[in-house]
């Protein structure tokens, strides 16, 4: 009996246990949780999101940047080029957020963020007005789960390195089609 | 000491523990796992995927259908209308798969499946050639996790009911632009 108990205990701990996971199928809830995690971040936020134009999320990122959180933000070139309102990316850059653009022909279709190396957001949810207010989306949040976060950080680092600063800035200078983008001012 | 041990054991079990979770940032791996789960399904597969045109996944679904797995497949109207090769959806319908089309203006942008009510796939990964062979994607698999699966089944049922059979078939009859679709044969 004791042996069985110990065995079960070991299994209980060796299985990956998450402190909390949350699943939403509602854009407004996805946004609310994303903003909450951004507001609560203390050290780092690493973001790889295909598309972004949602002001409340951008504002939360700007506030996080202002209080010293180190933010790395990767988005896809097609979305910057297509956006009618690129001011969000310009605002992030102006505020000193480390912005890179995925410049390869293949889409960077990922939608994930890692907050403080502990909490992961993911799913189908882009950080856009459509995703928040119109589409049917699923977003998932794994809160306080360093192991799961580490898996995602590894993926993020690869994406970040593939779009190194030089490559990303070259594209911003040569290919941007967005009037208010800083690279078109010079 | 015994008290502490018991307490820790209870915490170990009361936290949501997953038997296994797998994260891939590689389209080919995402496809491989999706096909494997489809091949291993014994009773049900509930699918809500924005876009599908990937033959190996479709073939696995057809095999599952042939061996008696009850499949419900929901996809978005815009993707059916835009697809150059809609034969995959026609094949699923011809084989008796319960296919519905999300016909609301808002996109059904979700990418999830629940296998046997126990295992969930999700992430940014559509079941398409682009997603498998070209894009950067993240897919997640929660294997043998009935609680997590139940959360996703609930979301699926809502989507399925919103696009009830009558509504879905009306759209297929009136709006389809795909030459080989069965509704245009009649």
What does DSSP say about strands B44-49 and B111-115: parallel, antiparallel, or unpaired? antiparallel
pLDDT at B46 over 80: yes
Instruction: Give the other-Cβ count within 10 Å of B12's Cβ.
Output: 18
Give A135's contacts (C-beta < 8 A, 6+ positions apart): A27, B106, B107, B108, B109
Residue A50 confidence (pLDDT)? 95
Of A88, A111, A145, A152, which residue is the catalytic one?
A111
Respond yes or no: is residue A46 known to be catalytic: no
Query: Per-residue pLDDT tens for A74-88?
Result: 999 887 766 666 668
ipTM: 0.80
Q: On the CB side of B97, how many CA atoms lie within 13 Å of its CA?
A: 30
What pLDDT, in 10s, does the model give residues A122-167?
A: 999 999 999 999 999 999 999 999 999 999 999 999 999 999 999 8
Which of B21, B102, B110 lies nearest to residue A124, judging by beta carbons? B110
Instruction: Tell me if residue A111 is catalytic.
Output: yes
Q: What is the mean pLDDT of residues B35-47?
A: 98
Quick check: A140 and A112 in contact, CB under 8 A? no
pLDDT > 90 fraction of chain B, expressed in percent and rounded: 68
- Region B109-123: what's the mean pLDDT? 97
Token pair listed for A8: 């079960």
Contacts of B12 in chain A (CB under 8 A): 9, 12-13, 17
Catalytic, out of B33, B102, B111, B152: B111
In this structure, are residues B55 and B181 in contact, taking their beta carbons and an 8 Å threshold? no
pLDDT at residue B141 in the model: 97
Strands of B5-155 (E only): list them. 20-24, 44-49, 70-76, 98-102, 111-115, 119-123, 139-143
Please state, as a whole number, how many other Cβ atoms lie within 10 Å of the Cβ of residue A166: 8
> What is residue A175's predicted lDDT score, i.e. its pLDDT?
59
Tokens of A121: 């957001």
- Of the residues A121, A138, A144, A159, the best mutation for testing chain B's interface (the one with the most B CB atoms within 10 Å of its CB) is A138
User: Rounded to an integer, what distance in angstroms lies between the CA atom of residue A120 and that of residue A141?
Assistant: 6
- How many C-beta atoms lie closer than 10 Å to residue A176's C-beta? 19
- Tell me the mean pLDDT in the region B177-184: 42
| Smallest CA–CA distance from A108 into chain B, residue | B136
pLDDT of residue B125: 97
Which B residues, 61 through 100, put their C-beta within 8 Å of a C-beta on chain A? none
How much is the average pLDDT of A7-28?
61
Q: Is A19 on the interface with B (CB under 8 A)?
A: yes
Max Cα–Cα distance, chain B, nearest Å: 75
């Amino acid at each position: 009996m004791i042996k069985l108990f110990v065995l079960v205990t070991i299994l209980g701990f060796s299985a990956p246990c998450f402190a909390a996971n949350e699943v939403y199928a509602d854009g407004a809830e996805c946004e609310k949780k994303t903003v909450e995690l951004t507001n609560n971040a203390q050290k780092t936020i690493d973001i790889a999101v295909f598309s972004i134009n949602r002001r409340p999320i951008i504002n939360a990122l700007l506030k996080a940047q202002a209080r010293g959180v180190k933010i790395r933000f990767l988005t896809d070139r097609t979305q910057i080029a297509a956006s009618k309102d690129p001011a969000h990316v310009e605002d992030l850059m102006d505020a000193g957020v480390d912005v890179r653009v995925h410049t390869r022909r293949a889409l960077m279709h990922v939608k994930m963020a890692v907050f403080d190396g502990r909490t992961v957001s993911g799913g189908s949810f882009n950080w856009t007005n459509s995703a928040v207010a119109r589409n049917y989306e699923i977003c998932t949040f794994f809160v306080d789960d360093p192991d799961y976060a580490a898996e995602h950080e590894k993926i993020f680092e690869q994406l970040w390195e593939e779009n190194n600063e030089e490559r990303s800035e070259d594209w911003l200078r040569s290919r941007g089609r967005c009037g208010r983008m800083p690279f078109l001012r010079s």
